[in-house]
Chain A
Amino acid sequence: MMHQADDPNIRKYLHELDARLRHLPAEQSEEILQGITDHISDALSRGSSSVADVPGSLGTPEEVARGAAAERVPTATPPWRESTPWVVLTTLLLVFGGFIAGFGWFLGLAGLWMGTRWKLWEKIVGTVVLPGGLAGAVTILVVPVSYTSLTSESVTLTPDSSMASGAEVLGPVLSIIATIATLALPLIVGIYLLIVGLRREQTTMRAAQLTA
């Protein structure tokens, strides 16, 4: 009997089922797997079915997992990760977090990816558009400015400095527009994420109620 239960086909079956139950809390998936395992060894020891019959009588791992699918929503995400304070705090940290000892933005990033109210592309935009948020934007602006001011000081020494001549060609108007745009970008993205996140409150609540 032990040899039969150790059959590679049965091990493969249990392995597939395990993979499909991964979204459940460990306690639940272990309970289900244990039940199935006992069922198989029981059936085999009784001699009422053979190894080849197992998937046929039990159903495919997919079918079994589908029976557990309804379990997912009420237990998987802690409610605070879909809450309104979570949305507000996350967007604040994304925009202004860079000023908090430099790492506040990373907390915001974690909040963004752990949150449930944003779509994948919104998470990507929130990550890619100006890492560091407003602090990142300020850094981008300050670093080249100090760099160009350094090089323009040395213009007399090295007149062919491309950085200095590039800044002169751009002119003050363009650089002001670029400055405003750079500062505005993280703000716009932050406000967008906030609005979208707050608007989805009702839909997520409704979905949770439906599946509960």
Chain B
Amino acid sequence: MYGLDIAGKLRGHGLLTSEGTLYPLLARLLRGGHVDTSWRESGQGAPRKYYSLTPAGKEALLTFVDAWGVFSHSVSDILKPVGGHDS
């Protein structure tokens, strides 16, 4: 995926209000070796910089998916009495 694409997707999910803040994050992932970049020709105009996950990045992602599952489950458990009508 390339920058604008990633930004658009995150924005579509309501996760990104200022699209510019994506780039410091991508730069950090790149420095940490979690993503890699490559230039590819695009159909229209200048070549684009594509971002892809490195093996280390995939591993980190899997770890996060596990942790997130446990975490979100716990949080919704704790919040259940607050948000629901059943309290």
Contact = CB atoms under 8 A, between A and B. Distances in A.
Q: Per DSSP, are chain B's interface residues mostly helix, strand or loop, or mixed?
A: helix
A64 B23 contact: yes
Contacts of B27: 28, 31-32, 35, 68, 71
A42 B30 contact: no
How extensive is the interface on chain A, given as a class?
20 to 34
Nearest to B21: A67
A204 interface: no
Given A39-B3, A39-B4, A45-B45, A64 B21 contact: yes
A45 B20 CA distance: 17
B13 to A, nearest CB: 16
Contacts of B46: 38, 41
A60 B20 CA distance: 8
B34 interface: no
Interface in A112-146: none
Contacts of B26: 31, 35
Contacts of A27: 31
Contact count band on B: 20 to 34
B59 interface: no
Contacts of A68: 24, 27-28
A57 B46 CA distance: 22
A55 B3 CA distance: 16
Interface string A1-45: 100000000000000010000000001100110111011011101
A38 B24 contact: no
B24 A39 contact: no
Given A39-B3, A42-B2, A71-B28, A34 B49 contact: yes
Contact of B24 (A1, A57, A64): A64
Given A42-B48, A43-B4, A32 B23 contact: yes
A36 B49 contact: no
Pick the 7 closest A-B CB pairs, nearest first: A59-B18, A58-B20, A68-B24, A35-B23, A67-B24, A64-B20, A67-B21
Given A36-B23, A45-B45, A58-B19, 15 more contacts: A31-B30, A32-B24, A32-B27, A35-B26, A38-B3, A39-B4, A39-B19, A39-B23, A41-B46, A42-B3, A42-B4, A58-B18, A63-B20, A67-B23, A71-B27
